[in-house]
Structure formats: structure tokens, C-alpha cells
């Protein structure tokens, strides 16, 4: 039986808490290779075994369906699940748990009958508007069962053109649990990444944008220049001497064929090639050899992003630029998985993607055409390592960077590291807590105030946070959760009322707080608390001055 990791148990608990206490639909954010599928399988097991429910798992590629079936079989072999997928040649409809490809079922919600829970893998694929397959199926499934609940899982909770996938009027409404890439690398669950920019630079300023992405034909023409292909291939060979499995992302079929030709004929290495038109048997044979270590180099065009699992990948070469932060993340994420003997994964970025989108654990999501700040890192001019901007000395080769004032007029833009700055986590014992109403500087009359909480953690040391009782949306939801964790009394509607209640003993004592600091970030963040026992509810005569809690 497969046991969940601690953060996977936390994710499952957050889903259950959300479904118990709220009427809308949650989303879980776990990085690529962090293990979303075991959490989904465990939820299915509980839904069927404990609550006598019926569950549908939806995904958009065959590989994800196969992963879900494998994890379900290992975690809960007692659950008889079915599969509905044309690609897998199965059309089961009567099982308590069904794993389905959205392309196969989006018009068949009535045929599959009523579900209590729909679990969606790669939930960022649900469009916020229009008549896509997910939207059509979920709308019809709600007709069959108006009480249907939906749980989304994704590593990238955003879409390039519309931003966050969780909105008040969407199918998914709130991120109930999120853990980041850096935390999982720190705790040994994901493989560390290092990155180098290509020595030969490309200029994408002349590319046009269509539908939020560079025009594909123009990208391929740019990247398929003979000098650039030869330079990129030479650098791939040079950098992968000690690597065992290199996955290359090309800009198009013609460009991919060119890369394969140069690697094969000029450098004498065997190189596989996979596109959307590759016959299934040939594709499976190539991927099998690549996973087994019998094929070191594999070039692909738009097919080995979501759902492709090859833990031995220790180099990812991006020989293409993209405007999509999700695609950038999915490509780099192919190297996240742990594997015996694998110390780290090298990312070779020939498309300027790290600069464009920022660190992979802090992707800078901007509206199409929107302005964005400079990514917080730079490229070492000696060894091409792309590192956090705070380094004065390159950790890879020892190069000493000039002071900032000496290079403020340089024409060359800095580039972002594949991971952001050093993270420090510190636990403090709380000696006392103070509550006050905070009015934002420059706020207009009628703007919402917040409650400021100052935790005394030393003789002259305080750590602060702001709780937004008067706000709406996610800020209010966080305030409600904050209060309910500490008090049995109704959640106040204003900062003034919250402060008065706190000063009259409505909250449990905060015994300790855990602070996360990130090198280069201006602000620290409280990420955990130790809370004492809940106090008894305040007397009715004290509470009668306060309005009843508004349900959420």
C-alpha cells in the first residue's frame, strides 16, 4: 500500500476542510513531480469507502489517466474502478470510480450518470469562459446532480491570458492548499535545478504574438538558423558529458529534425525524435528506451510536457522561446523527479525563458502585453550560470560581479535564476501579542481597514501580520479561517470589532510563530503557528453588540 507524504496528507485534509465548511469548489496546488495523483487516489478511496460516494477523475492526456489508474490500484485495490477513454479502448460507465479522458466524455455526462465528486487533474486546462470541453461536461454534470462538488489539482494555478484559474464565478473558486517547488526541494522530495543560458543569444523582439503566444512559424524560422542550431547542439553535447538523459524541446518539426540531424551526424550521438505525428508504437518504443537509459538524447515538439514521467532526466534543453509561463514550467518540470544517482537537473535555456518568466518557483504571470519587472537574477558572464541577483560571487565559477553602481548603465538585461533566493525558516516563541486597527496610508474614506497583530518575540523584536476582516474575496476568506482557528465566537465584520474582541480574551494564545524569509524579498511571512486551547465563548452580553457572522 502506498503511504502519502506529510504534505500530501495536509493537502487531502485541506480539501476535506474546504468541502465541509464552504459551498464552493477547492483547488490544490502541488508542483510537477510532487505527487498530485496519490492525493487524488486517496480521496477516491475515502469517498467510496467512508462516504458511499461516486467519483469521476478527469484528465486530458492518456498518460495522466494511466498514472491515475496505477495509483488507484496501489492505494485502494479494493475499489473497483472503471476507465472511459477512446485512447485506452475502454468505455466503463457503471463503476463507483471512473477515470476518464475529457475528449471521450465531454458530451456524455448523462450517459455516465450522477457523480458526487469530480476530480480534475491539470485543472488549469479548464477555460474561464467559452464553450470548451471541460465547461460543457461540468455544466451538464451539474444538471444531472446539482450538488456536485469539483476538486481541481494543478502545478500551475493560472492561465496566460486570464491569470488565476480560481474565481468567484468559475468552476474552481479557491486554492485550499499550496506547496512550492523550493519547499519540496528543501525537504528532499524534488530534484534541485541548476541552469545555464545559451552562449549564443536570440532576439525575439521581432516576433509577433497571436493568442498570447509567439507566432509558431516565426519562432521556428528564428530558431532554425544554421549557426544557432549548430551552436546549441555543440553546447548541449559539451554540457551533458556527465549527464545520462537529456530531453530537448524544439520549436517545430523542421527545427527538431535539424537538431536531430546535427546531433547525429556532426556529433555522432544517437538521438530520438517525437512529435504529435509519431506512430504510437514508435513513440512508445523511443520513450521506453529513454526511460530505461538506452537512449541519452530525445528531441520532442510539443508532446512531452504534461503527463510525461521519466525520473532519470537530468538535463532539459529549451531550444525554443515561449510566452506561456505554464508551458515554461511544464518543460522545466520534466527534470523535477528524483532518481538514483541523480544529483541535480541541468536546464539549458536557449530561448531566454528564465529571464522572461522568472524563477520556476516564483513565476511572473503577467497579462498578455502587460509590463513586467526585471526577473530577480542574472547570468554569469564567465560560465553562463543563471543565478539569483543577490550573489556578489558566482557560486559556480567564482566570478566576482562588479558593484551595482558600476553596472547600472549596462545595456545587457539581467536574467533570472531557475530557483529564487535562499529561504530561511525560523521558529519564534511568542512572548505577547498586541492588536490594533491599521489604516492604510493614503486610503480614501470608506476603504477597508485591517487588524494589525504584533507578536513580541524578543526584547525589541516584533513580527507583524495583517488580518483583513473588512475585505472581500480571498482576503476575507483568509481572515475567516484565521479567526476560526483561534476562537469559538462569530467572525467579526470589522477591524474595530475584531480588536475589541481580541482585547477581551476572544482568542486562543499564540504560543509560537514560524517565519519564512527569502533572500532579496523585502518582507518576511508567517507560515505557521502553534495555537493554545480555544477559550470559552464570550458571554452573550458582550457579543450582543456585534453583528451576526455573515456565512461564506
The answer to whether 271 and 319 have CB atoms below 8 angstroms apart is no
Find the mean pLDDT for residues 23-30: 92
The residue from 375, 406, 437 where one domain ends is 406
pLDDT beyond 70 at 412: no
Could you tell me if residue 72 is inside a domain?
yes
Q: How far is CA 358 from CA 214, 232, 388, 423, 547, in A?
A: 18, 22, 10, 17, 45
Shared domain for 392 and 534, answered yes or no, is: no
pLDDT beyond 70 at 197: yes
SS3 435: strand
Dihedral sign from CA coordinates of 275, 280, 283, 288: positive
The residue from 179, 205, 230 where one domain ends is 179
- Which pLDDT belongs to residue 230? 95
Average pLDDT value over all residues in the chain: 83
The answer to whether 389 and 151 have CB atoms below 8 angstroms apart is no
pLDDT beyond 60 at 228: yes
316 confidence band (pLDDT: 50, 70, 90): very high
Find the mean pLDDT for residues 454-473: 85
194 confidence band (pLDDT: 50, 70, 90): confident
Shared domain for 393 and 516, answered yes or no, is: no
- Which pLDDT belongs to residue 285? 95
- Which pLDDT belongs to residue 532? 92
Shared domain for 206 and 158, answered yes or no, is: no
Interatomic CA distance for residues 421 and 426, integer angstroms: 16
Shared domain for 135 and 264, answered yes or no, is: no
Shared domain for 233 and 154, answered yes or no, is: no
The answer to whether 260 and 289 have CB atoms below 8 angstroms apart is no
pTM for this model (two decimals): 0.64
Shared domain for 276 and 341, answered yes or no, is: yes
- Which pLDDT belongs to residue 452? 92
The answer to whether 157 and 175 have CB atoms below 8 angstroms apart is yes
Shared domain for 108 and 204, answered yes or no, is: no
DSSP result, 18-56: HHHH-SS-EEEE--TTS-HHHHHHHHHHHHHHTT---EE
The answer to whether 380 and 399 have CB atoms below 8 angstroms apart is yes
Could you tell me if residue 459 is inside a domain?
yes
- Which pLDDT belongs to residue 385? 60
518: domain CATH number? 2.40.50
The answer to whether 387 and 359 have CB atoms below 8 angstroms apart is no
pLDDT beyond 90 at 307: no
> For residue 384, is it left (φ>0), alpha (ψ between -120 and 50) or beta?
left
SS3 379: strand
Could you tell me if residue 185 is inside a domain?
no
- Which pLDDT belongs to residue 32? 87
Residues 6+ away with beta carbon under 8 Å from 533: 508
Could you tell me if residue 98 is inside a domain?
yes
Could you tell me if residue 237 is inside a domain?
yes
Q: Which of 218, 257, 310 lies closest to 32, judged by CA?
A: 310
Dihedral angle computed from the Cα positions of residues 472, 488, 176 and 469, in that order, rounded to the nearest 10 degrees: 20
Find the mean pLDDT for residues 418-440: 80
Shared domain for 441 and 481, answered yes or no, is: yes
Give the range among 136-150, 421-435, 489-503 with minimum mean pLDDT: 421-435
Could you tell me if residue 548 is inside a domain?
no
DSSP result, 134-164: HHHHHHHHHHH-TT-EEEEEES--EETTTEE
Give the range among 116-120, 260-264, 300-304, 307-311 with minimum mean pLDDT: 307-311
Nearest 5°: CA angle at 323, between 319 and 327? Answer: 70
- Which pLDDT belongs to residue 362? 62
Nearest 5°: CA angle at 499, between 494 and 500? Answer: 100
Q: Is 338 exposed, middle or buried (0-12, 13-18, 19+ CB in 10 A)?
A: exposed
pLDDT in tens, 89-108: 888 888 889 988 888 888 88
Could you tell me if residue 412 is inside a domain?
no
pLDDT in tens, 325-346: 888 888 998 999 999 989 999 9
Please give the DSSP secondary-structure letter assigned to residue 400.
B
Q: How far is CA 499 from CA 202, 449, 526, 546, in A?
A: 56, 12, 20, 12
pLDDT beyond 60 at 248: yes
- Which pLDDT belongs to residue 422? 57
216: domain CATH number? 3.40.50.300
Shared domain for 151 and 68, answered yes or no, is: yes
Tell me the residue range of the domain where 40 lies: 6-179
- Which pLDDT belongs to residue 395? 55
132 confidence band (pLDDT: 50, 70, 90): confident
> Across-strand partners of 315?
246, 346
The residue from 123, 150, 179 where one domain ends is 179
Instruction: Look at the block and give the residue holding cell 469539483.
Output: 150
Shared domain for 430 and 395, answered yes or no, is: no
pLDDT in tens, 168-188: 888 899 999 999 888 898 899
The answer to whether 88 and 59 have CB atoms below 8 angstroms apart is no
Highest mean pLDDT among 11-15, 120-124, 460-464: 11-15
Question: How many domains, the chain?
Answer: 3
Shared domain for 319 and 378, answered yes or no, is: yes
Could you tell me if residue 130 is inside a domain?
yes
Interatomic CA distance for residues 161 and 539, integer angstroms: 51
- Which pLDDT belongs to residue 520? 54
Find the mean pLDDT for residues 295-305: 91
What are the E-state strand segments in 122-274? 149-154, 158-159, 163-164, 174-178, 193-197, 209-210, 213-214, 246-249, 271-274
pLDDT in tens, 135-181: 889 889 999 999 999 999 998 887 755 667 888 888 899 999 999 88
Shared domain for 167 and 201, answered yes or no, is: no
pLDDT beyond 50 at 416: no
Find the mean pLDDT for residues 511-518: 86
Amino acid at each position: 500500500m502506498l503511504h502519502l507524504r506529510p504534505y500530501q496528507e495536509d493537502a487531502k485534509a485541506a480539501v476535506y476542510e474546504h468541502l465541509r465548511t464552504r459551498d464552493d469548489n477547492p483547488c490544490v496546488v502541488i508542483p510537477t513531480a510532487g505527487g498530485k495523483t496519490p492525493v487524488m487516489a486517496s480521496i477516491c478511496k475515502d469517498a467510496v469507502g467512508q462516504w458511499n460516494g461516486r467519483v469521476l477523475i478527469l484528465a486530458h492526456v492518456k498518460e495522466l489517466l494511466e498514472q491515475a489508474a496505477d495509483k488507484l490500484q496501489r492505494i485502494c485495490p479494493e475499489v473497483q474502478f472503471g476507465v472511459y477513454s477512446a485512447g485506452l479502448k475502454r468505455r466503463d460507465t457503471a463503476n463507483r470510480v471512473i477515470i476518464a479522458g475529457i475528449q471521450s466524455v465531454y458530451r456524455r455526462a448523462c450517459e455516465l450518470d450522477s457523480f458526487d465528486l469530480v476530480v480534475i487533474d491539470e485543472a488549469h486546462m479548464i477555460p474561464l469562459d467559452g464553450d470548451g470541453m471541460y465547461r460543457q461536461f461540468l455544466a451538464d454534470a451539474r444538471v444531472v446532480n446539482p450538488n456536485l462538488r469539483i476538486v481541481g489539482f494543478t502545478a500551475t494555478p493560472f492561465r496566460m491570458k486570464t491569470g488565476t484559474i480560481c474565481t468567484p464565478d468559475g468552476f474552481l473558486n479557491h486554492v485550499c492548499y499550496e506547496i512550492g517547488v523550493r519547499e519540496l526541494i528543501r525537504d528532499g522530495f524534488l530534484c534541485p535545478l541548476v541552469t545555464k543560458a545559451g552562449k549564443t543569444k536570440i532576439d525575439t523582439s521581432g516576433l509577433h504574438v497571436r493568442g498570447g503566444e509567439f507566432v509558431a512559424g516565426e519562432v521556428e524560422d528564428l530558431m532554425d538558423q544554421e549557426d544557432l542550431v549548430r551552436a546549441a547542439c555543440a553546447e548541449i553535447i559539451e554540457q551533458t558529458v556527465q549527464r545520462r538523459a537529456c530531453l530537448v524541446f524544439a520549436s517545430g518539426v523542421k527545427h527538431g529534425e535539424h537538431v536531430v540531424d546535427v546531433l547525429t551526424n556532426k556529433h555522432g550521438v544517437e538521438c530520438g525524435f517525437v512529435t504529435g505525428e509519431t506512430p504510437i508504437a514508435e513513440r512508445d518504443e523511443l520513450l521506453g528506451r529513454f526511460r530505461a537509459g538506452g537512449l541519452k538524447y530525445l528531441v520532442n515538439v510539443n508532446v512531452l510536457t504534461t503527463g510525461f514521467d521519466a525520473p532519470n532526466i537530468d538535463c532539459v534543453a529549451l531550444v525554443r522561446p515561449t510566452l506561456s509561463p505554464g508551458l515554461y514550467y511544464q518543460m522545466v518540470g520534466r527534470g523535477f523527479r528524483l532518481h538514483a544517482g541523480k544529483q541535480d537537473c541541468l536546464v539549458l535555456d536557449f530561448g531566454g525563458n528564465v529571464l522572461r518568466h522568472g524563477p520556476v518557483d516564483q513565476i511572473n504571470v503577467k497579462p498578455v502585453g502587460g509590463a513586467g519587472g526585471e526577473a530577480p537574477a542574472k547570468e554569469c558572464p564567465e560560465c553562463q550560470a543563471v543565478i539569483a541577483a543577490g550573489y556578489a560571487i558566482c557560486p559556480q565559477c567564482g566570478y566576482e560581479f562588479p558593484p551595482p553602481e558600476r553596472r547600472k548603465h549596462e545595456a545587457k538585461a539581467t536574467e533570472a535564476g531557475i530557483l529564487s533566493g535562499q529561504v530561511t525558516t525560523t521558529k519564534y516563541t511568542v512572548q505577547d501579542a498586541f492588536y490594533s486597527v491599521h489604516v492604510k496610508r493614503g486610503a480614501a474614506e470608506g476603504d477597508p481597514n485591517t487588524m494589525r497583530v504584533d507578536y513580541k518575540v524578543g526584547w525589541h523584536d516584533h513580527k507583524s501580520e495583517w488580518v483583513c476582516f473588512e475585505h472581500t474575496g480571498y482576503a476575507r476568506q483568509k481572515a475567516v479561517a484565521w479567526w476560526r482557528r483561534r476562537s469559538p465566537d462569530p467572525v467579526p465584520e470589522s477591524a474595530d470589532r475584531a480588536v475589541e474582541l481580541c482585547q477581551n480574551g476572544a482568542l486562543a494564545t499564540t504560543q509560537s510563530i514560524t517565519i519564512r524569509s527569502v533572500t532579496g524579498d523585502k518582507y518576511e511571512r508567517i507560515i505557521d503557528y502553534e495555537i493554545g486551547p480555544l477559550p470559552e465563548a464570550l458571554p452573550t452580553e458582550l457579543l450582543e453588540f456585534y453583528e451576526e457572522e455573515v456565512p461564506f
